[in-house]
């Protein structure tokens, strides 16, 4: 079996004498999607910064694969509308070629926006452009912080399908932070429920039955997904008669 891309062992971190992360251990492997969920203020963003190497833990060890290449997609980005920068030019700020930018935009399904001013992209186009930027260096680890933020329900479905396709095409590991419990459970292999420490973890169907998960999210977070539709590489969804059961609060148009 291949060694993990990254392994965190008993990581702890405090800010201003407040414990943000306590004894957190996790591994990320090639070809697997790991999703971190938890309430606001649970330490999810701090854990992402530890994985990215932006902050150093107070305690614990981090083991990174020697060939580790990370692509990062932030929650959001603000480009001043007075800055006349096209989407392709924005991607080129990552020090890549014009052709590489076009290929990345093709892969995420928005080749037509290459000359569109970046600040004029729709919410879904913006997230796909950020995803394109994250994959420019052909990473073997993608870190996606709230990748479907600001996208409508159908767009969220399409983006999660696209993320799964990118995982397969790049054979990369993916760490995702998400609040979209109902949708994300069908789009991940391993779930970590974080509330400063790891409350529970495992396959989605195991985590949603765990008392610690139910204590945080309540009975309405219970989830069952019969996934009988298909996603194209561009994230389009074709329905082939599948049936979906979601917890309260999830709506289909």
The whole-number pLDDT of residue 253 equals: 36
Give the pLDDT band of residue 76 (cuts 50, 70, 90): confident
pLDDT at 160 over 60: yes
190 vs 196: CA distance, rounded Å: 18
Long-range contacts of 45-50 (CB under 8 A, 24+ apart): 45/145, 45/177, 46/13, 46/15, 46/20, 46/21, 47/11, 47/21, 47/194, 48/143, 48/145, 48/175, 48/177, 50/8, 50/11, 50/13, 50/21
Q: Which residues pair with 201 in a beta bridge?
A: 192
Q: Are 117 and 129 in contact (CB under 8 A)?
A: no
Q: Are 192 and 198 in contact (CB under 8 A)?
A: yes
* Token code pair at residue 29: 């492997």
CATH topology of domain 6-69+140-245: Rossmann fold (3.40.50)
pLDDT tens by residue, 4-17: 999 999 999 999 88
Long-range contacts of 90-98 (CB under 8 A, 24+ apart): 90/118, 90/129, 90/133, 91/129, 91/132, 91/133, 91/136, 94/133, 94/136, 94/137, 96/136, 96/137
Q: Is 167 left (phi over 0), alpha (psi -120 to 50) or beta?
A: alpha
The whole-number pLDDT of residue 180 equals: 67
Mean pLDDT of 183-204: 90
51 vs 45: CA distance, rounded Å: 10
| The three-state (H, E, C) secondary structure of 74-128, written as one string | CCCCCCCCCCCCEHHHHHHCCCCCHHHHHHHHHHCCCHHHCCCEHHHCCHHHHHH
Rounded to 5°, the CA angle 145-28-3 comes to 150
**Would you list the domain boundaries of the chain?**
6-69+140-245, 78-138
Give the pLDDT band of residue 243 (cuts 50, 70, 90): very low
Mean pLDDT of 72-80: 86
Between 153-170 and 123-134, two packed helices, what is the crossing angle to 10 degrees?
10
46 vs 57: CA distance, rounded Å: 10
The whole-number pLDDT of residue 1 equals: 54
Better pLDDT: 22 or 180:
22
pLDDT tens by residue, 27-40: 999 999 999 999 88
The whole-number pLDDT of residue 220 equals: 52
Better pLDDT: 87 or 219:
87
Q: Which residues contact 26 (CB under 8 A, 6 or more apart)?
A: 7, 8, 34, 192, 198, 201
């Amino acid at each position: 079996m291949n060694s993990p891309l990254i392994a965190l062992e008993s990581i702890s971190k405090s800010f201003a004498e407040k414990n943000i992360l306590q004894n957190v251990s996790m591994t990320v492997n090639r070809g697997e999607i790991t999703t971190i969920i938890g309430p606001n203020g649970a330490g999810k963003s701090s854990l992402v910064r530890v994985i990215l190497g932006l902050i150093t833990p107070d305690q614990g060890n981090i083991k990174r694969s020697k060939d580790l290449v990370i692509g990062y997609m932030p929650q959001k980005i603000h480009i001043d509308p007075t800055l006349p920068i096209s989407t392709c030019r924005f991607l080129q700020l990552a020090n890549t070629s014009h052709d590489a930018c076009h290929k990345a935009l093709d892969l995420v399904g928005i080749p037509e926006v290459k000359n569109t001013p970046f600040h004029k992209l729709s919410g879904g186009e913006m997230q796909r452009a950020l995803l394109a930027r994250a994959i420019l260096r052909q990473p073997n680890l993608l870190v996606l912080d709230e990748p479907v933020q600001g996208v409508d329900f159908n767009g969220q479905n399409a983006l999660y399908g696209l993320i799964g396709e990118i995982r397969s095409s790049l054979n990369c590991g993916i760490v995702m932070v998400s609040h979209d419990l109902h949708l994300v459970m069908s789009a991940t292999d391993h779930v970590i429920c974080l509330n400063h420490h790891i409350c529970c973890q495992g396959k989605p169907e195991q985590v949603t039955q765990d008392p610690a998960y139910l204590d945080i999210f309540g009975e309405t977070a219970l989830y069952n997904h019969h996934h009988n539709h298909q996603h194209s590489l561009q994230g389009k969804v074709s329905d082939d008669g599948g049936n979906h059961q979601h917890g309260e609060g999830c709506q289909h148009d």
